[in-house]
Structure 1
Amino acid sequence: MTHPTWTDRLARLVDTALDRSVVLGYPATGHAVRRRLPTWPADPPRNALSGKHVLVTGASSGLGIRTAVDLAMLGAHVHLVVRDPMKAAPVREQLDEVAAGRHTTWRCDLSDQASVRAFAAAYRATGLPVDGLVHNAGIMPSTRQEDAQGRELTMSVHVLGPVALTEALLPALAAARDGARVVFVTSGGMYSQALDLDDLDFHPERYRGAVAYARSKRAQVELLPILARRWGRHRISVYAAHPGWAASPGVTSSLPGFARLTAPVLRRGAAGVDTTTWLIAATPAPPSGGLWHDRSERPTSYLSRTRASDAERQELWQWVARHAGIAD
């Protein structure tokens, strides 16, 4: 058994200090410092995903574009799963430069269960496996909106749609030669919120976009243990990854004050998607069922008031399964 050296122990102390401070660990500086620590996991080789098929939702803007490009640079055939294929033209142009012939665009509206089922059926009909699935699509509306089924839109796009899509793609995920990986792109904002099982649909009179966003991301993370057990039967590993403070059109439009204040230190380029792509490509697969940031598994709560019990997670799952049309 190899014991950690004093430099490894010091590196872990630095990493933990960055994580707990938030203002040092979440900006670009956190990623830059951690990459220089001796405990930083190795980068996947350039051909790590050669011959593999990886789906990225919300791939037409923001972090989704960079995620798709970086996965393609690792050799993957990238499937762009977007609501409006016309808006995916810019990312297709970028992919043509690094992965000509290794990308496909699909239409799927995660807020519409019929669209989710139709896309999943069309993909399954190709006979291709799904080696990786990145649930990157995200929204932060300022006012309460509903999806095609009458559910609140933020929970629909961040939780109901992704879970329903994964369930519908189980045969293709199970066909992955080396086991499939599913990554929910979450947010550090979820640390401020607890589950509110009495208001999962967000009452209109109490609606605040940023709070709804953070609570939906909290729901993603709290579902991880249940999803890891459920999907693990099919050799599927599941993770949540939060990018830190990353520049994106969503941050600029939904949180303009935060974006202006943090603009000089926001993560840009590969730093914002590093952990997401690493979780898809790393060998061996990281342990399933956890929350990751900067290639390390992180606590899901720092405050006692935000911790969920197993019973609360199970109640959340029952709500999700019911509204996503899943037979529990």
Structure 2
Amino acid sequence: MSLKNWRFQTVLWNTKNLGGSVKNRMQSATPTITLRLNVRISVGLLAMFLLKAWRSTAFGVYGYLNFTKSGFLGHSKNFNPEDMSTRIDGKNCIVTGANSGIGYATAHGLASRGATVYIVCRNKERGEAALSEIQSTTGNQNVHLEICDLSSVNDIQSFSSRFKAKEIPIHVLVNNAGLLENSRVTTSEGYELNFAVNVLGTYGITELMLPLLEKSQPDARVITVSSGGMYTAPLTTDLQFKGEKFDGVEQYARNKRVQVALTEKWAEKYSNKGIGFYTMHPGWAETPGVTKSLPSFSKSLEGKLRTSEEGADTVIWLALQPKEKLVSGGFYFDRAEVPKHLAFAATKSSHDAIDSIVATLDSFGNFSI
């Protein structure tokens, strides 16, 4: 064997043995990877997450069983038809946001029972179309159009001044105008748009109409159209949703919760003025506003939503009933007083914040009389 071949074999033998040795060592010392994942979750944040989840779930189940068309049909079996046969000739009613949807159905229902109805609309063209249709279908010519943008404090004050000049009593004020805008929009006066219409507008027109409502005591009443969505939200002093990323649906729910708490406050504050204050919610109705603001919701429940007339049923019922049958400050649904809070939703104590909210609203519009 030549020296050259011997050297090659030796190197080859050493390499093989070295490989085996390394292999053995690797097999005998298989690496172990230990992964430690430290997750720190605030107990408060976890509790809030679970609470919100419960509110949404409970609301969804409760709503599906009660707020749909089938819920209305089921509840209507207990309705007394005579409750809706009352005539209210000679009574003056104001309905805001009355050019379509529940507002239109309410105005139409009141006009068909003989009331003098003032429909308050932002858009003159749509308001005139609604006015003409209500007059022609009910045969009641005592239906009038008032133009007012409920998102504007200046407009509300101007409308109030014009209407007070009529020196007529108001028997029924229906705060129906509402808005669900998914994006943050700020009005020319600097207010978040949902809040401006749903809360500030509702508060302002009610406070400014109080002298005319007092003229029709003890029969006067204020009916505010809230929403079952308020079940998912506690009362908060963050009225314009400044503290976090904007969520139009949640802001709407918060606004509607404010309306319910405001109604309680009005009932307490003005208990000696002969005015009844009530909130109601119409269930899930198929209206132009719902279709525009919640298209996915509207599509998913296609064929299961209430009509505008079914949504307006309790508003009209509240306008017709003797006040002794009603609870001022109460929350109504399908012609019955219902709870304002879901079980275990932790929203009841939040109503303690209403005094602070009222003070803020007064500072925005100087509405208190």
Tell me the TM-score normalized by structure 1.
0.88
Letter in 1 for 2:161: A
Match of 2:222 among 171, 178, 182: 182
Alpha-carbon distance in structure 2 between the residues aligned to 1:221 and 1:180: 19
Structure 2 residue 187 is matched with structure 1 residue 131: no
Alpha-carbon distance in structure 2 between the residues aligned to 1:237 and 1:23: 30
Per-residue deviation at 1:316? 2.0
3-state SS in 2 of match to 1:318: helix
Q: Provide runs of 4+ in structure 1 moved above 6 Å.
A: none
Structure 2 residue 280 is matched with structure 1 residue 241: yes
Aligned Cα root-mean-square deviation (Å): 2.0
Alpha-carbon distance in structure 1 between the residues aligned to 2:357 and 2:118: 30
CA contact 1:44–1:283 (8 Å) conserved in 2: no
5 Å-filtered alignment, 1:39-50, equals: 40-50=79-89
Alpha-carbon distance in structure 1 between the residues aligned to 2:199 and 2:179: 12
Match of 1:268 among 300, 307, 317: 307
Letter in 2 for 1:24: L
- Name the count of aligned residue pairs: 308
Letter in 1 for 2:138: V
**What fraction of aligned residue pairs are identical, expressed as a percent?**
33
CA contact 1:222–1:308 (8 Å) conserved in 2: no
Could you tell me which residue of structure 2 aligns to residue 36 of structure 1? 77
Structure 2 residue 202 is matched with structure 1 residue 202: no
Structure 2 residue 359 is matched with structure 1 residue 318: yes
Alpha-carbon distance in structure 2 between the residues aligned to 1:124 and 1:163: 17
3-state SS in 1 of match to 2:66: coil
Alpha-carbon distance in structure 2 between the residues aligned to 1:59 and 1:208: 26
Could you tell me which residue of structure 1 aligns to residue 183 of structure 2? 143
Alpha-carbon distance in structure 1 between the residues aligned to 2:355 and 2:217: 31
Per-residue deviation at 1:274? 0.5
Per-residue deviation at 1:47? 4.5
Structure 2 residue 62 is matched with structure 1 residue 21: yes
CA pair 296-20 structure 1, distance change in 2 beyond 3 A: farther
Could you tell me which residue of structure 2 aligns to residue 52 of structure 1? 91
- For residues 95-122 of structure 1, the C-alpha deviation after alignment (integer angstroms, 9 at most, x for no partner) is 2221432101001111111111111111
Could you tell me which residue of structure 1 aligns to residue 251 of structure 2? 212
Could you tell me which residue of structure 1 aligns to residue 269 of structure 2? 230
Alpha-carbon distance in structure 2 between the residues aligned to 1:319 and 1:174: 25
Alpha-carbon distance in structure 2 between the residues aligned to 1:136 and 1:71: 14
Alpha-carbon distance in structure 2 between the residues aligned to 1:248 and 1:281: 24
Alpha-carbon distance in structure 2 between the residues aligned to 1:138 and 1:204: 23
Tell me the TM-score normalized by structure 2.
0.79
Structure 2 residue 194 is matched with structure 1 residue 154: yes
Could you tell me which residue of structure 2 aligns to residue 13 of structure 1? none
CA pair 194-284 structure 1, distance change in 2 beyond 3 A: closer
Larger Rg: 2
Alpha-carbon distance in structure 2 between the residues aligned to 1:125 and 1:142: 37
3-state SS in 2 of match to 1:238: strand
Per-residue deviation at 1:245? 0.6
Alpha-carbon distance in structure 2 between the residues aligned to 1:313 and 1:178: 26
CA contact 1:111–1:157 (8 Å) conserved in 2: yes
Alpha-carbon distance in structure 1 between the residues aligned to 2:334 and 2:277: 17
Could you tell me which residue of structure 1 aligns to residue 128 of structure 2? 89
